[in-house]
């Protein structure tokens, strides 16, 4: 006979898990510890969630969505495209990885320790990348495919900064880094470093001037 699910129990599991993930990380958090924090049995956790990674992504999706919505409101207030791009890079590479004691780091831990990533769905990553791609198009002259590709690279860098957030000597983003990479993305072809490809955002403008 299946056990009836109760919203209060589910919320208690999520609250306990969020506290433990935030304090000690995904890898050091166990299902029995989550159950103790929620005041229920370990077996009862599995009535509500299939696995620890299922609990994490149930928490991570609204956590991430709230911050992306907030970032979108911030970007709308920045009129200059170059400054808007720099603000986007700072948010993705500095602010978001640090939020809630580096909560995004839990996702990196989960994906690196889950066997075969059987419980992982790329749906949230696709949504995240799609939003970043649209913001890039607001800052640069890009075709949709180009913005998706660059957004994917930016999120790979986000993963790296999220992984480094708790390291004493880990790589961290600052305003100088954001200005540098924002400038590289938006730089005209004749300002690109020798031997390096021009940014896709400006190569098309350069070609248009020749016609």
Q: Provide the domain limits for residue 14.
A: 1-49
Euclidean distance between CA atoms 152 and 128, whole angstroms = 9
In a domain? residue 210: no
The answer to whether residues 18 and 87 belong to one domain is: no
- CATH number, domain at 28? 1.10.10.60
DSSP string for residues in 83-99: HHHHHHHHIIIIIHHHH
The answer to whether residues 104 and 76 belong to one domain is: yes
In a domain? residue 54: no
DSSP string for residues in 152-166: HHHHHHHHHHHHHTT
Nearest CA among 163, 114, 109, 156 for reference residue 132 = 156
Average pLDDT over the chain reads 87
Domain tally, the chain:
2
The answer to whether residues 111 and 33 belong to one domain is: no
Widest CA span of the chain, in angstroms? 74
For 123, 190, 203, the CA distances from 206, given in Å and listed in that order, are 36, 9, 5
The answer to whether residues 139 and 178 belong to one domain is: yes
Given pLDDT bands bounded at 50, 70 and 90, which one contains residue 108?
Answer: very high
The answer to whether residues 16 and 75 belong to one domain is: no
The answer to whether residues 96 and 147 belong to one domain is: yes
CA atoms lying within 13 Å on the CB side of residue 153 = 8
The answer to whether residues 30 and 67 belong to one domain is: no
84: tokens are: 């808007």
pLDDT in tens, 73-105: 999 999 999 999 999 999 999 999 999 999 999
In a domain? residue 203: no
pLDDT at 30 over 60: yes
In a domain? residue 208: no
In a domain? residue 202: no
The answer to whether residues 164 and 142 belong to one domain is: yes
In a domain? residue 17: yes
pTM confidence score = 0.82
pLDDT at 118 over 80: no
The answer to whether residues 152 and 81 belong to one domain is: yes
For 30, 71, 114, the CA distances from 76, given in Å and listed in that order, are 41, 9, 38
Residue 184 has what pLDDT?
A: 94
In a domain? residue 195: no
The answer to whether residues 69 and 124 belong to one domain is: yes
The answer to whether residues 7 and 63 belong to one domain is: no
> CA torsion 36→41→45→51, rounded to 10°?
80
pLDDT in tens, 174-211: 999 999 999 999 876 555 455 444 455 555 544 544 54
Euclidean distance between CA atoms 135 and 198, whole angstroms = 21
pLDDT in tens, 147-184: 999 999 999 999 999 999 888 888 889 999 999 999 99
Q: Which residue has better confidence, 122 or 59? A: 59
In a domain? residue 209: no
Residues constituting the chain: 211
The answer to whether residues 103 and 136 belong to one domain is: yes
């Amino acid at each position: 006979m299946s056990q009836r699910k109760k919203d209060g129990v589910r919320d208690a599991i999520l609250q306990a898990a969020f506290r433990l993930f935030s304090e000690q990380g995904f890898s050091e958090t166990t299902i029995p510890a989550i159950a103790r924090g929620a005041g229920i049995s370990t077996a009862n956790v599995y009535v509500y969630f299939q696995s620890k990674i299922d609990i994490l992504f149930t928490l991570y999706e609204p956590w991430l969505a709230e911050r992306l919505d907030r970032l979108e409101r911030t970007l709308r207030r920045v009129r200059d495209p170059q400054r808007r791009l720099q603000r986007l890079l700072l948010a993705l590479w500095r602010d978001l990885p640090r939020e809630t004691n580096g909560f995004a780091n839990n996702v990196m831990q989960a994906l690196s320790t889950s066997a075969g990533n059987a419980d992982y769905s790329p749906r949230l990553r696709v949504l995240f990348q799609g939003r970043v791609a649209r913001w890039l198009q607001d800052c640069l002259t890009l075709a949709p495919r180009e913005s998706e590709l660059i957004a994917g690279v930016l999120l790979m860098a986000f993963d790296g900064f999220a992984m480094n957030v708790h390291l004493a000597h880990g790589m961290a983003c600052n305003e100088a880094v954001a200005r540098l990479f924002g400038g590289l993305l938006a730089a005209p072809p004749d300002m690109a470093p020798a031997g390096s490809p021009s940014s896709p955002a400006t190569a098309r403008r350069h070609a248009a001037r020749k016609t």
